[in-house]
A and B are shown apart, each in its own frame.
Chain A
Amino acid sequence: MKELTNKCPLTPAFPASGCVTIPVTMGGAPNRPLVQVGDAVARGQVIASGDKFMNCPVHSSIAGKVKKICDCTVTGNQNVPCIVIESDGSDRTEYMEALDPFACSVEEALERIKNAGIVGMGGASFPAHVKLNPPKDKEIEYVLVNAAECEPYLTCDERTMIESPERLLDGLAIALRLVGARGIIALEDNKSYIKPLLEEAILKKGYGDDMGVCLVKTKYPQGSEKFIVYSCLGVEIPSGKLPSDAGVMISNVGTFCAISDAFRLGKPLIERSLTISGGAVVNPCNITVPVGTVVSDLIPGVFSIKADELVKVISGGPMMGFSMGTIDFPIAKGTSGVTFLTKKETFLTAEDQCISCARCVSTCAMRLSPLLISRSLQENDVKKAMRFGLMDCIECGCCAFVCPANINLVQRFRLGKAFARSHLAEQRAKAEAQKNQGDAQKSKEQK
C-alpha cells in the first residue's frame, strides 16, 4: 500500500480557491484569535495565541485578508473556531529573525520553538516546547526520531527523509542540545535503504558521536511510542506514564524539520507535508501545503478521486485515522495524510458472535486480553476490564483488524475507557465527600 506513493516526491501545492481555513487551536491550550475580519495578514504572522505555558501560537500560512472567523468542521468531525484567510496574490512574508540554535541560551531556544508554533506532527499535536522542557527530575537520555511511519499508505516522512535529511539532522541536533541527550533515528526495515543515506549525512555533518540510525521490524504498531522505545532501547514506558519517565523523548520526522526551519529560516510551522493516498484516489501523491488548506480545495487541481467508488474519507491512516463526514476539512499541523478508501478496502461487515478464537490476545502488542476486556465491559464490570488492561490499550486497532467476527473491539474500548474515567472520578469525588463529612463530624464531636 505504501508503494502507491513512496516514489512520489513531495510537491508544493496550493489551494485552488486561494483560501485557507486555519483552526485557532492546533495542539496545546485553547488559543484566542488576535486578528479581526478585514485585517491584512502576512505569511508567518501570528493570528491566534494565548498567554499560558501550554499555548502554542498559530500563524497565517498565506498572505492576504481575514475573510471570516467562524466554526468549521475539522479532523474528528468537530466544529471549532477557525480563521479563514483569502490570499491577495502577494507573497508578503513576515518570518522571525534567524537564530543560531547553538549560540543562544536554552531559554531563548525554547522561546523560539514556542513562537514558531511547533507541535508534534505525527498526529497528537503536543506542543514541542513543552516536550523539550521536561521536569528537572526526569532526565532525558535519548531523543528518538520516530521515522517508523507504520500506518499503511502514508509515506510523507519517508519522502522527507530522502529529500531533506539535513533538515531532520539539524532539528535533531538542536533537540539534542536542548535536552543534553543522544539521538536515534528509528526506521522500519521496509525503509532500510534510507539508512545509508542518513548515516552519510550524519558523517558529513560530524554528528557521528551523538546520532545513530536504528532499524526496527516492520510491524504495525511499531510507530507507537511505546514500541519504538522498546524496539530501539529495550525499555518499556511504565503503565500510565510518559516516555520521559523512561528517559526518552520521541518526536516525528516532520517536527524536527520544523524545528530546524524555525531557527535557520525563522519560519514558523505554516506548511506541512502529507500523503494523499488510497484506492479511491486517481493519482496518489505526496504534497506540501500551507496549513489550513481545505482538502476539497485540492481537487481536481492536485489530485482527483473516483467519486463513485469512494466510501470512506480518513484524516490520517486507515488504522488510527478519523473517518470524516465531509471532504471540506482543513489540513492542520497534525494531519499526516488523507486516505480515500473504496468499499473493497474498508470491509464494511456486520458484527458476528465472538467465537473466543483469542486471535486478539495473540495480536495485542500491549499483551492485553481484548476479548476478556470486551466481555467484562459487556457485563458492566469496569474493574475487571481494567484488570485485563482496559486503560493500557493504545487503541492501535490490531485486535479489531484480526477479529474474524468483525467485532468492533477498539471502538468498544474507547467507550469503555471514557466510562471508566468518569466512573473513577465519581468514586474519587464520593470518597472525598465522605472524608470531608467525616472530618466535619469529628470537628463537631470535638466541640
Chain B
Amino acid sequence: MAENRFYLASSPHFSLNLSTQKIMLAVVIALLPECIYGVAVFGFRALAVILAGVAGSVLFELLFLAATRQKIVIKNLSAVVSGIMLSLVCPPTIPLWQVLIGSFVAMVVAKGLFGGIGSNVFNPALTGRAVLFLSFPSAMGARWIDPARVSEGLDGISSATALSSIKNGSLSIEGFDFASYFFGNRAGCIGETSVFLILVSFAFLMLFRIVDWRAPLSMVVTVFAGTFIHSAVKTADLHGALMNGLVSLLTGGLVFGAAFMVTDYATTPATRPGRLLFGFGCGMITFLIRSFGGYPEGVMFSILIMNSVAPFLNNLTVRMYGHGKKGSRRLDASKIDMEFDIGSARPSEIPSGMEGGKDE
C-alpha cells in the first residue's frame, strides 16, 4: 500500500541544484574572451595550442581514469578547464608536442595521482607549465610574438617581454605605454596579455559567485605595495615608485594568475582568513622573485609554493557564532530601547507607517 513508496532521507529535502559541471562550464565561458583575443592577436597558431591543450588534457584524464579503473567523470568539464588554462599560460610559439607533455603532467602527475578532482595539492595547469618552463626554457621564455610588429607585416618574433626588459634594465618606465598593456597589445602568453579582458572574466565569475575576491585582491595589492615600497626606498621618487607599482600589475601573468589560478578550488584554502593569507603569500613571493630572484616572472612559482601550504592555512578560521568575547556578552538593554518607538504618545504617525502594505 502506501508503505515504502516514498523516498526517506535526512533533511534538507531541497537543493540549489548546482553541479560541478555547471561551475566548470561557467569557468570555460569566462575564459572564452581570453581565448578569442589570443587567437585574434597571435593568429591561428594560438588556436592550435589551445585545442592541443584541451584535447591532450581530456585524453590524458580519460586514459588515466580508465587505466586506474575509476569512474569516468570527463563530463564534469574540469579537464577542459585545466586544458584551456594550461594553453593560455603558454607562449603562442610553443611546439604542440610540448603542449601535450604539459597536459600529461597536469592531468596525470598533478591531478590524477593525487586523487583526482578536489584532491590535488598543486594547480594542474601551473604544474604542467612549470615542467615545460624548466624543460624547454627556450620555447617557454626566449621567443615571444609582439603584436605591434605583426601588424607591421613582420613575423613578429621578438626576444623579450616587458618584465625581462625591465629585469635587464633595457626598459624604463618613462616610455611605458599603459593603455596597450591594459588592453593587451603586447608580447606574452596567449591568455595573459589583456588585463581588461581578464577583469571582465573575473567580474563574470564574481557575478555568478564562482570565485571569491579575497585571495586575488590580496595578491595583487601585495605585489603593488611591495613594488611601490621597494622602488620608493631605492629611488626616493614617489611618482616613479607609483608608476613602477602600476607597471608591476600590468606586466607578466600577475592578473591572470590572480584571477584564475589563485581562485582554483582544490589548491587554495577554503576559509576566508586562509584565502587572504594565501593571496598575501603569493603576492609576496611574486614580488621577491621579480625584484631579487633570478627569473623575470614569479607568479607561477609563487602560486605553486603557496599551494603546498594551502591545507595548513585552512586552520585559520573566522570566529564561529557564539564563541569568543562577542559570544559571551549579555544583552545591553539600554542600546535596544529604540526598538520601542510605537509608544501610545504618537498614534497619529501609525497610518504613515503603512508603507509595508504596498507589498501586497
Contacts and interface: CB of A to CB of B under 8 A. Distances in A.
Interface of A: 77, 141-142, 152, 182, 184, 190, 192-196, 199-200, 202-203, 206, 208-214, 226, 230, 232-241, 246-248, 296, 310-314, 316, 318-328, 339, 341, 345-349, 352-359, 361-362, 365-369, 371-372, 388-389, 392, 395, 397, 400-406, 408, 410-411, 414
Contact of A371 (B11, B19, B270, B322): B270
Given A195-B356, A367-B321, 9 more contacts: A212-B339, A214-B339, A311-B7, A323-B7, A323-B10, A325-B3, A325-B4, A366-B322, A388-B317
B266 interface: yes
Nearest to B12: A397
Given A236-B321, A246-B330, A318 B116 contact: no
Contacts of A389: 317, 320
Contact of B117 (A211, A248, A355, A400): A355
Contacts of A184: 339
B6 interface: yes
A199 B353 contact: yes
A128 B8 CA distance: 31
Given A208-B342, A212-B340, A362-B212, A401 B10 contact: no
B22 interface: yes
Interface of B: 2-4, 6-20, 22-23, 73, 76, 78, 116-119, 209, 212, 265-266, 270-272, 314, 317-323, 326-333, 335-336, 339-344, 347, 350, 353-354, 356-360
A199 B344 CA distance: 10
Nearest to A355: B118
Contacts of B265: 355-358
Nearest to A310: B6
Contact of A234 (B11, B22, B323, B335): B335
Contact of B322 (A190, A238, A372, A397): A238
A204 B49 CA distance: 76
A39 B328 CA distance: 53
A389 B327 CA distance: 14
Nearest to A194: B356
A196 B356 CA distance: 7
A312 B7 contact: yes
Given A209-B340, A212-B341, A296-B2, A247 B330 contact: yes
Nearest to B351: A196
A367 to B, nearest CB: 5
A404 B22 CA distance: 8
B12 A320 contact: yes
A238 B350 contact: no
Nearest to B17: A347
Nearest 5 A/B pairs, CB to CB: A397-B12, A358-B270, A239-B322, A192-B356, A404-B18
Contact of A203 (B20, B350, B357): B350
* Main secondary structure on B side of the interface with A: loop
Contacts of A196: 350, 353-354, 356-357
A199 B36 CA distance: 60
Contacts of A142: 331, 336
A133 B328 CA distance: 22
Nearest to B115: A353
Given A192-B359, A372-B314, A397 B11 contact: yes
A327 B341 CA distance: 47
A356 B115 CA distance: 13
Given A192-B359, A206-B344, A296-B2, A402 B16 contact: yes
Contacts of A368: 320
B3 A392 contact: no
Contacts of A213: 342
Given A141-B331, A355-B118, A324 B6 contact: yes
B18 A208 contact: no
B19 A246 contact: no
A59 B33 CA distance: 69
B6 A235 contact: no
Nearest to B331: A247
A259 to B, nearest CB: 22
Nearest to B352: A196
Given A318-B12, A404-B19, A410-B10, A365 B321 contact: yes
Nearest to A207: B344
Contacts of B314: 369, 372
Given A241-B322, A368-B320, A404-B20, A199 B340 contact: no
B117 A235 contact: no
Contacts of B272: 361-362
A358 B212 contact: yes
B10 A411 contact: yes
A205 to B, nearest CB: 10
Contacts of A358: 212, 265, 270-271
B330 to A, nearest CB: 5
Contacts of A237: 322, 327
Contacts of A210: 340
B176 to A, nearest CB: 38
Given A238-B327, A248-B331, A323-B6, A356 B270 contact: yes
A347 B3 CA distance: 22
B13 A346 contact: yes
Contacts of A359: 18, 209
Contacts of B357: 193, 196
A313 B9 CA distance: 10
Contact of B15 (A246, A247, A361, A406): A406
Contacts of A247: 330-331
Contacts of A372: 270-271, 314
A202 to B, nearest CB: 6
Nearest to A210: B340
B327 to A, nearest CB: 5
A203 B342 contact: yes
A414 B9 CA distance: 12
Contacts of A311: 6-7
